[in-house]
Amino acid sequence: MITQLVRFGCVGAVAAAVHLAVVSLLVALLDMSPLLANVAGFGVAFQVTFFGHSQWTFSTIRRNGDYRRMLLVSLAAFALNEGLYAVLLQTTSLDYRVALGLVLVAVAGLTFVGSRVWVFTHVS
């Protein structure tokens, strides 16, 4: 499990960097609201997350349903992410990038537990 946690952290760091980069670019270049840009960031980062976790973190041969299950776990985590992000943006003076970074770290545990317990249960 320690190896999975380390790998999860590595994949998560890459996905978080992608997520943050997408949000930052959309806000800076298209003047998109951070909350709306967060949705796009999630969509791109999810692809990184699924590929990294299915191929490396949990080292599995994909089976039917893995992608859908990972999407459901990630959508649940994203709902929490978006809610916490909205609260931080509305109630603090934190820069939107700092607020997003805090939220991404705070929600990561939910994704790990859901992935390990429900998505990739066929991995020993």
Is 72 within a domain?
yes
Is 124 within a domain?
no
Is 59 within a domain?
yes
Tell me the one-letter amino acid at 29: L
Is 81 within a domain?
yes
Element (H, E) at 44: helix 34-52
Q: How far apart are CA 117 and CA 67, in angstroms?
A: 15
Total count of domains within the chain: 1
Is 107 within a domain?
yes
What's the pLDDT at 91? 98
Q: Which domain holds residue 9?
A: 2-119
What's the pLDDT at 62? 65
Q: What is the pTM of this model?
A: 0.87
Q: How far apart are CA 124 and CA 116, in angstroms?
A: 10
Which of the four pLDDT bands, split at 50, 70 and 90, describes residue 11?
very high
Q: How far apart are CA 115 and CA 108, in angstroms?
A: 11
Is 14 within a domain?
yes
Which of the four pLDDT bands, split at 50, 70 and 90, describes residue 58?
confident
Q: What is the pLDDT of residues 16-39, one digit of tens each?
A: 999 999 999 999 999 999 999 999
